[in-house]
Structure formats: structure tokens, C-alpha cells
Structure 1
């Protein structure tokens, strides 16, 4: 009798160990699944605001810096250069916001129409579908703010420098540094090569400023 009792106790302990192992395996599988879900980041969801913000900042920086370099090619007056930069900032921010709003709204209409077809013509959108749709207003605001931030870089660099040549050099230096930062930031957020992206943005910006300065100098020298 005692032997049978011990055997039953041993069987109970084995069952408990087996159950504990099963629970442990299930827990590890669940944890592993959660770790995979946390580790995997859908970078495509960042595309909307990332594109608007990075392109807006680069456009603001290059547009205003090139305008200021163009004016500085034949006018040494700091006031005229700053006023030109401010006008470029305001006009560019409004233009970028409007363009981004119209562009994203067109994308919104296309995706909403596709969702409606998938629902069989039902016009009611679920909360999940609403989250998937792009926001034209967010894109417009992000684009305008980013443009203004980028445009502020050459303006601040030139605002307090009275010497003509030093002012032009400061605009180029500040703009170059900002181009590297913007390029690296966009590459980091989008998981792209940092050095390659930064150099591409920097070289393109320097070429744009150089062409604007050279053509403006040529036109100014011709007396047009």
C-alpha cells in the first residue's frame, strides 16, 4: 500500500513538472512573439510626416540661402538681404503648405475610395481605417513649419554680421552645417546610410547656392 502511495506521489510530481515545462514553453513563445512585435518597426508609417518635414526643411534652407546669396552677389546691403530672406521664408512656407495639403488630400481621396470599394460601397470608415488614412492638415503644417525652420538658418547667420564678405561666408557655412544635419536626421529616421545621405544633400545644396550666386553676379555685372 505504501509503495503504491509513493508511486502515485511520484506520478503527481512528474505531471506537475510536465505542466510547468509546458507553461514555461508557452510563456517563452509568447514573450518571443512580443519581442518580435516590439522589435519590428514599420518605417513606412513615418513616410508621411518624414517626407514633409525633411523636404520642407531642406527646401526652406536652400531656397532662402540661395535667395540671399543671389541678392548678395550684387548688393552688399544687409537690410536688403534680410528682407529678401524673410519674404522668401513667408512665401515658401505658404507655398509648401498649400502644395503639401493638395497633394496629400489627393492621396487621401484615392485611399478612401479604395477602402469604400473594399467594403462593398459602405461609406462608414472604421477607426482603424481612419488611422491608416493620411492627414492633409498634418502634412501641410509639418511642411510649413519645417520650411520656416530651415529658412531661419541663413537668416540668423546673416542678421548680425555687417561685413559683406564675412556675411556671405557665414551664410554658406551655416547652411552647409544645417544641410549635413538635415541629411543625417532624415537618414537616421529612415534607416538610410548616414554619410551617403548627408553628402548628397550637402553637395546638392552647395551646387544650388553656387549656381544662384554665379548667375546673379553675371546678371548684375551686365547691368540688367
Structure 2
């Protein structure tokens, strides 16, 4: 029983873990691509570092804002649905109980048992029963805008800090190959983690992330070299 309880909690956290991994992935890709573009334009080491820090701050704020707006919209939709359901329960409790019983019948319960279960759940927490089984809204999966915004900003910032650390530690003349190698290594690790969390092939996850990330960095470096200076 204890093992099953732990497995349930793991499933509840998969969505947040996957979002955190993807946020860190975005931080690495966007910041390393920005650094490579500026470095390929023959900027100074200080200018590269400033550009990277600016990219980290701007990206983290953008992620937080976008996530907050998106999840707040979901929260508003959930609240409106719950208000409507609450009004329907007040106006027609018997009809709502029948509706709940029909849901359980569709899931495989015998009609008499479904009626008994619906009546018991309605007596205990009518709105909770309908929000979960009719609307699909649960405490574990309900929208939390501030939590989502903070998680996205933090995971992006952590990912973006990794290529910035390379800029701080590696000499200027070795910066481009070091950024490419380190970023692909970080991204491969995150791709494998995301695949493992989702139960997918780790090898495919690593190769997919590495390929598209390398393409992004190559495009940024190419643009920097094309429009940069030789000063």
C-alpha cells in the first residue's frame, strides 16, 4: 500500500517536472544560441557576458509572464465552470445526481451501484464530486498561476546560467567550441531526463534534443558571423 501511495504522488508531479525540464532546456538553447551569435560577430568577452546575462533576465521574465497569463486564463475558466456547476446543483440536485450516476455507468458500474455511489458522493461533497468526475478538475491538476510562473522563470534561469558559467570559465579564443560542447552535453542530459520522466526512449529523446538544439545554435552563429564585424 505504501509503494502504491508513492507511485501516485510521482504521477501527480510528472507534469511539473516535465515543465521544469523543458524550461531549463529553453534557457540553455536560447542563451547559448545568443552567446554564439554575439561571439561569432567578434564581440569582446565582456560584451558576450553582458548579452548572456541580458538574455537570461529577459528570457526568465518572458517565461514567467507567458506562463502566468496562460495558467491564469485556465484558472479563470475553471472558476467559471465551478460557479456554473454550483448553480446547477442548487437548482436541480436530483438531475445533477442522475448526471453523475450516468458518468459512472459509462465507466462500467452497474446502474444501481452507480446511483448508490453518486448519492453517497453527493451527500459528502457534491461540488467536489462533479468538479472531479464531470469537469475533470482536481486539486493536483488545478491551475496555479503564481507557482507555474515561478517554476518556469526559475527553471529557465538555471538552464541559462549553465552556458554563462562556461563564458566565465573558458578563455575567449576557445569560447565558441566550449559553448557548443557544453550546451549539447547539458541538453542531452535534459533530453534523457525528460524522456525518462515521460516513459519514452531515452536515446531518441537525447538525439532529438541534441539535433534541434545544434541546429538552433548553428543558425545563431551563422547570423552573427554574417552580420558581425572583424574589429
TM-score, structure 1 normalization: 0.74
Q: Is the 8 A contact 1:48 1:134 kept in 2?
A: no
The structure-2 alpha-carbon separation of the partners of 1:197 and 1:122, relative to structure 1 and needing over 3 Å to count, comes to same
Indicate the residue corresponding to 2:215 in structure 1: 207
Q: 2:38 aligns with which of 56, 71, 81?
A: 71
SS at match of 1:120: helix
Equivalences for 1:1-224 in 2 at 5 Å?
34=1, 37-38=4-5, 41=8, 45-46=12-13, 48-120=15-87, 129-164=138-173, 166-220=174-228
How many residues of Structure 1 are paired with residues of Structure 2 in the alignment?
189
Q: What CA deviation, in whole Å up to 9, does each residue of 1:23-69 have, x standing for no partner? A: xxxxxxxxxxx489448647763354234312211111111101100
The structure-2 alpha-carbon separation of the partners of 1:47 and 1:106, relative to structure 1 and needing over 3 Å to count, comes to farther
SS at match of 1:192: coil
TM-score, structure 2 normalization: 0.72
Q: What CA deviation, in whole Å up to 9, does each residue of 1:69-117 have, x standing for no partner? A: 0001122411111110000000100110010011111111222322333
The structure-2 alpha-carbon separation of the partners of 1:118 and 1:68, relative to structure 1 and needing over 3 Å to count, comes to same
Q: What is the aligned-residue RMSD (CA, Å)? A: 3.0
How far apart, in 2, do the equivalents of 1:84 and 1:53 lie?
24
Q: Based on CA coordinates, which of the two structures has the bigger radius of gyration? A: 1
Larger relative contact order (C-alpha < 8 A, sep ≥ 6)?
2
Q: Is the 8 A contact 1:43 1:190 kept in 2?
A: no
